[in-house]
Amino acid sequence: MTTPAVAASASLPRSFGRYILFDFIGKGGMAEIYLARQQMELGAARLCVVKQILPGLAGEARFSDMLVHEAKLAARLNHANVVQVFDLGRDGDRLFIAMEYVEGFDLNALLRRCSRAKVPLPVELGIHVVRETLRGLDYAHRCSDDAGRPLEIVHRDVSPSNLLLSFDGEVKVCDFGIARANETIAVGWAEEELDEALRGKASYMSPEHARGESIDARADVFATGIVLWELAAGRRMYRTGDGLPSLLEQARRADVPELPPMGLPEEGRLRAILSKSLAPDRRDRYASASAMLRDLDDYAVQARLMTSPLQLGEWQSRTFGEEIIERRRSRERAIAAMQKGALVTLEPLSEPELASEHVAPATVDSTPSAQPRALVKRARSSIVATAAAVAVVVLVLAGAVMAIAMR
């Protein structure tokens, strides 16, 4: 039986407008996702990700109109902590979005790898990821148009799967506005259908969002607070199972469990940050991402948990990157053979390598034992490798990217 991934890869590489699709990343509920090369007018090229909206959705007028509107807003965002949208358009009957390619993991995939390998994510790195996420969100929330009017951008789906971590240590928020486009086609659905469609997303919804009320930047603050709570606790905040309310109902109630004692440094201050970011009434919540960021920055300084993108990137590459780099080298050799006319079939990317794009809802187990208590074990001594080791990692990654295309 041919799987969708194999079927999608069978006709690669192929032209799609100004893009050459040469690697299938995955398929989600909204789009098929490809690694592509964009050809420039004077012959230069760059790697990017192309999301081809599924035909059934592209033909849905409400969805298409909202997606185009939101993508236009997202294309205005230009910040180190936000995935850049390059292009939006149609080719034939396919609506598509082209965006920046991030070489690395999303946070959800990284935590799954940590769980399988029983490797704890150092506490300072987890705090760093949340701080960088807040920087990206704050920029988007404050963005204005050319006349200085606020664009009032709200992400609406801040979750581990939408937080991308590059091997260079960058943290980028992706898929601004796509959740809003998805919600337009859910209007009028039955409660059971809505809960199924939002499964996973509801795990990170603010209570006002789950109730269908109008939302603002404070909804993204609440979602970021959930991410921080889960990193600290090492498990999902909302549990699922027989006899328990649906995720959507739990999100509406916002019954936030108290963070169990974790033995973290300055834990009282961290609890205060979580309490304020996860306040059920938005009037009691942080008024902005920047307000939460200031408190989290102060906490990181006082608790001596400050770190850098270099340390995050080096830890990822040293802990999980070697296998992926070697596999991608072999894929690049196959792609080079394709360019010379050879008939080569690329195997689909494995699940951990889907990390560069959000293709499925987060699926972290709710039991404490299923995911390591990632932020409990502090591993500062394991963060800093020798300068030679860092140089080797940088050279390997640079060679891997340059072998495919010019950026």
What's the one-letter identity of residue 196? E
Instruction: Provide the pLDDT for residue 401.
Output: 37
**Sign of dihedral through CA atoms 297, 284, 133, 321?**
positive
Residue 69, helix vs strand vs coil: helix
Which class for 154: exposed (0-12), middle (13-18), buried (19 or more C-beta within 10 A)? buried
Instruction: Provide the pLDDT for residue 363.
Output: 33
24 Cβ contact list (under 8 Å, min separation 6): 5, 8, 9, 12, 32, 33, 34, 35, 346, 348, 349
How far apart (Å, rounded) are the C-alpha atoms in residues 375 and 64?
41
Instruction: Provide the pLDDT for residue 61.
Output: 80
CATH code for the structural domain at 4-99: 3.30.200.20
Instruction: Provide the pLDDT for residue 47.
Output: 86
Q: What CATH fold (topology level) applies to the domain 103-407?
A: Transferase(Phosphotransferase); domain 1 (1.10.510)
Positions of the chain with pLDDT lower than 50, given as ranges: 187-199, 350-407
Instruction: Provide the pLDDT for residue 293.
Output: 98
Any catalytic annotation for residue 157?
yes
pLDDT per residue as tens digits for the range 336-393: 665 555 555 555 554 433 333 332 223 333 333 334 344 444 433 333 333 334 333 3
Residue 209's closest CA among 248, 237, 181? 248
Instruction: Provide the pLDDT for residue 133.
Output: 98
How far apart (Å, rounded) are the C-alpha atoms in residues 14 and 36?
9
pLDDT per residue as tens digits for the range 259-300: 999 899 999 999 999 999 999 999 999 999 999 999 999 999
Residue 34's closest CA among 99, 110, 111? 99
What is the distance in angstroms between the CA of the first residue and the CA of the last residue of the chain? 38
Instruction: Provide the pLDDT for residue 356.
Output: 35
Instruction: Provide the pLDDT for residue 141.
Output: 96
How far apart (Å, rounded) are the C-alpha atoms in residues 382 and 375?
14
Q: Which one is catalytic: 157, 168, 175, 220?
A: 157
How far apart (Å, rounded) are the C-alpha atoms in residues 36 and 387?
33
CB 228 within 8 A of CB 275: no
How far apart (Å, rounded) are the C-alpha atoms in residues 109 and 25?
14
CB 108 within 8 A of CB 231: no
How far apart (Å, rounded) are the C-alpha atoms in residues 367 and 362?
15
Domain ranges of the chain: 4-99, 103-407
